[in-house]
Structure 1
Amino acid sequence: MNRIVLIGNGFDLSHKLKTSYNDFLFYYLKKILDSFFDILFYEGKLIELHSRSSITGVPKMETLDDLISNLNILKTKRDSNVSVKYNSHFFQEIIEVYQHEKWVDLENHYFSYLLRMSNASSNLKEDLSKLNQDFEHLKTEFENYLREVVISDKPIQNPAKFDFLLEDIPHDQLIDSKPVYPTYIENIHVLNFNYTPTFNIYANHLNSKKNTSINFIHGELNNPDNPIIFGYGDEHNEEYKKFENKKENQLFEHIKSFKYLRTSNYQDLIRFIDGNEFQVCIMGHSCGLSDRTMLKEIFEHINCKSILIYYHKWGTDTHENDYVNKTYEISRHFTDKGMMRKKVVSFDKSEAL
């Protein structure tokens, strides 16, 4: 039997890398406001700030809340000589979403905005062009942020930390398994949804003991042969299906399924899951709908015999972890909920990451 390891952003966050969208938004807005308070001028693709007079002192800018509060003060202060102009309604909505929810998911919000636009826009072609340009700009800025700020050369202290992935699978973690005897793992396929090389040192160590491959399914920083994939991937959404009846190809510009065709990464994954029965191990991946097309194909595959969640734990009480929420997300990728309950390993047989 084989093993697939899903690596998501939570894995990077556990390594103290500031790779969340909130981290990026803080960096992006601080760069804007630092420039404005320095020269009283900022002109960018998404927002412009101008002041007709000097400003005394620089306000507190230590958190994302500070930055957005400062931006709102500049925008709404009636006696101010400052002009704040959003050039992107999409970007303005992102700021508003964060204010209400204290977090933002750029990919999910893009798809939500795209759906609303496709149903309501009176000038769809022009509006889609603007939205896709704005989203592409944020993608580029996010990639630059990861490359310039986040990626660290600090050595991993313990390359053998995840050697438990080499262990045989206990019979009670598998459906259709004969009792007593554990199942030997032959190959490991690390499906890395991150753009960062954080898992590389662990994969190299695992490969020295057992055949281990790593697949940067969403692209890899600083690798032009494996460009970054940034967008949405839920072909099973009922609204998405309506896109295919509209004669407007710009609706698909940032849909992940079409980006996968630029490399053989997706085909490599399919060959692996078609080749033998496998267990899925989830490490730091949210299992959200932005990757539904791929996750549904993996989880519902006839060769998938087990889904093991390595959950995030933040306290000592039994309920202080994300195991249950993760099962909610996983269930959205199953048409057959009974099969989902058979494949997902129970909490008492799962472990914290």
Structure 2
Amino acid sequence: MIIGNGFDLAHDLKTRFSDFADHLIENEIVLGLENIVRNAEKSNGLFKRDFIDQILKKTVSEVDLDNYMDVIWWEILQNRPEKVVQYLKEKPSEIQQFISNSLLGKLYDSQYLNWFDIENAYFSELVSFKNEAIKKGIKFDTTNLKKLNEEFAEIKTLLSKYLNSIEITKSPNVQSFFEKHLVNVKNVYIVNFNYTNTIEPYLESFGNGLKYKLNYMHGSLADDDIIFGYGNDKNSDYEEIKELEIDEFLTYFKTFEYQRDSNYNQIYESALESFNVYQILVLGHSLGTTDKTLLAELFNSNRCNRVHLFKRKDLEGDPEKVSQEFIKRNYAASRIFVNEEKLRRKLTNFKDSSFFPE
């Protein structure tokens, strides 16, 4: 069983990167801005030094509400921080002008293919540095590359803090799904790509002699040691990055992050090599390229005879969207299977697929 973020979303948990982006505005950025404007705080690592200097010099006589800095200063001065939250959510690109973390600023400025897709955005930055390094050779300066890694680490810390604040709830619909789909199943190996423990309340109810093992593939919030980075080591850019022999490029590749613990090896020892044949239930995983390497090993094994994708229950009222989303997941799966023949043979078709949750 593969658990992805859609599993948390089925519990109405706000675990999307976009939810994290809103949280940062509401609970980190605006609170920090209030401390600067109201308390004349002269130092805050979240913001650019020159921005702090300028906003502290603001006076009522020079307010221009067409200027982002003046809007922030004025609304906070009028004790209306909720207006600043609204303003920054409506114009997130303004954040890039004053946030010190340039990667975070670019994420808010929508400079990447998918808005606030942190891991893919990080990889895009690495590719840019890789191209620069190839061009400059030994003259390439790693200063900005190291800064990128520091910024990514800061975002990782903020994300972990946010996810720890979310209260886990149990869903009767998810419970019904397990009761239906785990009938007559004797062994389940759960690969949880989430950091949250949303799956755990259901484990006790598996019962009936069913044996299970749970693997927090990317670490858990409880252990305060999450794996966050890029996981497609079959990408041609990755091969070129390795050839550069500059270690800072590899800091947050999941291939090397997996070496920190035994979770990756346990998948082989307790699943791939212990089951003579197995089926995969994909619950809420997008099958994106950030986890492609591991997913390919699971999907393409000769011991895997079926991969079950599920229709999205939240779209049930719109059959066209249900179909579109299912097809998109098929496209994503096609990038994981080594060929279309395996895809056609192993992947459950739309008509025979159930909804998740029930």
Q: How does 1:32-181 map to 2 (within 5 A)?
A: 32-40=29-37, 43-45=44-46, 47=48, 49-50=51-52, 51=55, 52-53=57-58, 55-58=73-76, 61=82, 66-69=87-90, 84-97=97-110, 103-121=115-133, 123-147=140-164, 149-152=165-168, 154=169, 160-161=175-176, 162-168=178-184
Note if contact 1:117-1:124 (Cα within 8 Å) is conserved in structure 2: no
Moved more, 117-126 or 133-142: 117-126
Note if contact 2:278-2:304 (Cα within 8 Å) is conserved in structure 1: yes
Gaps of 5+ in 2: 60-72
Q: 1:62 to 1:110 in 2, by over 3 A?
A: farther
Note if contact 1:46-1:134 (Cα within 8 Å) is conserved in structure 2: no
**Aligned-residue offset at 1:318:** 2.9
Q: 1:210 to 1:118 in 2, by over 3 A?
A: same
**Aligned-residue offset at 1:350:** 0.4
2:63 aligns to what?
none
2:247 aligns to what?
249
Find the aligned partners of 1:63 and 1:284 in 2 and give their Cα distance. Answer: 34
- The amino acid of 2:126's aligned partner reads L
**Cα deviation 1:307-342 (Å, max 9, x = unaligned):** 001221414343222211101101101221111111
Moved more, 276-285 or 88-97: 88-97
1:24 aligns to what?
20
**Cα deviation 1:7-41 (Å, max 9, x = unaligned):** 11011111111111111111112221232135325
What's the Cα RMSD here? 2.6
2:65 aligns to what?
none
- The amino acid of 1:56's aligned partner reads W
Gaps of 5+ in 1: 76-83, 169-184
Q: How does 1:155-234 map to 2 (within 5 A)?
A: 160-161=175-176, 162-168=178-184, 185-207=185-207, 209-224=209-224, 227-234=225-232
Query: Runs of 4+ in structure 1 displaced over 6 angstroms?
Result: 62-65
1:262 aligns to what?
260
Note if contact 1:203-1:213 (Cα within 8 Å) is conserved in structure 2: no
Q: How does 1:312-331 map to 2 (within 5 A)?
A: 312-313=312-313, 314-321=315-322, 322-331=325-334
Please identify which structure carries the higher strand content: 1
2:272 aligns to what?
273
Find the aligned partners of 1:307 and 1:103 in 2 and give their Cα distance. Answer: 29
Q: 1:335 to 1:157 in 2, by over 3 A?
A: closer
Q: Which has the higher contact order (CA 8 A, sep 6+)?
A: 1
1:236 aligns to what?
234
Secondary structure at 1:214 match in 2:
strand
**Aligned-residue offset at 1:254:** 0.2
Please identify which structure carries the higher helix content: 2
Find the aligned partners of 1:302 and 1:90 in 2 and give their Cα distance. Answer: 41
Q: Normalising to structure 1: TM-score of the pair?
A: 0.82
- The amino acid of 1:139's aligned partner reads K
Secondary structure at 1:320 match in 2:
helix
Counterpart pick for 2:6 among 2, 10, 28: 10
1:311 aligns to what?
311
Structure 2 residue 284 is the aligned partner of structure 1 residue 284: yes
Q: 1:283 to 1:46 in 2, by over 3 A?
A: farther
Find the aligned partners of 2:256 and 2:7 in 1 and give their Cα distance. Answer: 26
Note if contact 1:25-1:64 (Cα within 8 Å) is conserved in structure 2: no
1:78 aligns to what?
none
